[in-house]
Amino acid sequence: MTFTRTNIPDVIIIEPKVHGDERGYFVETFRQDQFEEFVGFKVNFCQDNESRSHHGVLRGLHYQLSPFAQSKLVRVIDGRVLDVAVDIRVGSPTFGNYVAVELNGKNKKQMFIPRGFAHGFVVLSETCTFTYKVDNYYAPECDRGISFNDPKLGIDWQLSADLFQLSTKDTQQPKLETMHELFEYGVNYYA
């Protein structure tokens, strides 16, 4: 596996080695030992989630507050998404900045989104199967979100806005500057 830090160094792109021939392929999608050696701390994934979505479905930008903050390791089984992680750690030199990466069933790339980031994706292909590991369970009382089209974030979702398919919840998320329930830069949310 190849691990690459992005322009926000805590967000990491992981490219597994794909072994393929005329029969198909084999890929090792996760190795706890290699992962922890690279990130430098323990992450105990406890749940795997999967979604199936159609072209234009935009999910996000979501996060959970402590004590149920979550890290995510996301990937696409088939199809294509633009995957986005936004730094919401107050005091961070990259606060309000984002990383956007295309994940798809061919490139097999994965993105690690640590605690302290909001996450979302939009489906670029006709359909997509999206899967991810989390290191904490879903807690509705800690569930929060930020507007996907916050002009201060300036995210280029690579699709025309009239193609977006959003949940009611995601159409009503607040702008980042109005949020008071965020994370603090420098705090260890893994302790």
pLDDT in tens, the chain (191 residues): 999 999 999 999 999 999 989 999 999 999 999 999 999 999 999 999 999 999 999 999 999 999 999 999 999 999 999 999 999 999 999 999 999 999 999 999 999 999 999 999 999 999 999 999 999 999 999 999 999 999 999 999 999 999 999 999 999 999 999 999 999 999 999 87
Q: Can you give the pLDDT at residue 120? A: 98
Distance, C-alpha 161 to centroid of its chain: 20
Q: Do 75 and 102 contact (CB within 8 A), yes or no?
A: no
Confirm whether 39 is domain-assigned: no
> Can you tell me the distance from the alpha carbon of 173 to that of 149, in angstroms, rounded to the nearest whole number?
10
Residue appearing with tokens 């009611």: 168
Q: Report the predicted TM-score, pTM, of the whole model to 2 decimal places.
A: 0.95
Whether 54 is catalytic is no
Residue appearing with tokens 């302290």: 116
**Contacts for 58 with CB less than 8 Å, ≥ 6 apart:** 120, 121, 122, 123, 148, 157, 164, 165, 166, 170
Kindly report the CATH number assigned to the domain that includes residue 83: 2.60.120.10
Spot the catalytic one: 25, 55, 62, 180. Answer: 62
> Can you tell me the distance from the alpha carbon of 182 to that of 191, in angstroms, rounded to the nearest whole number?
17
Q: Do 68 and 136 contact (CB within 8 A), yes or no?
A: yes
Q: Can you give the pLDDT at residue 191? A: 78
Structure tokens at 158: 């690579």
Confirm whether 19 is domain-assigned: no
116: left (phi over 0), alpha (psi -120 to 50) or beta: left
Q: Can you give the pLDDT at residue 19? A: 92
Confirm whether 103 is domain-assigned: yes
Confirm whether 75 is domain-assigned: yes
What's the chain's Rg over C-alpha atoms?
16
Residue appearing with tokens 């930020």: 146
Residue 152 belongs to domain spanning:
44-184
Confirm whether 149 is domain-assigned: yes
Alpha helices in 2-71 (DSSP H): 32-39
Spot the catalytic one: 63, 98, 119, 132. Answer: 132
- In the chain, the number of structural domains is 1
Whether 62 is catalytic is yes
Confirm whether 114 is domain-assigned: yes
Task: Quickly count: other Cβ atoms within 10 Å of residue 124's Cβ.
Answer: 19
Q: Can you give the pLDDT at residue 149? A: 97
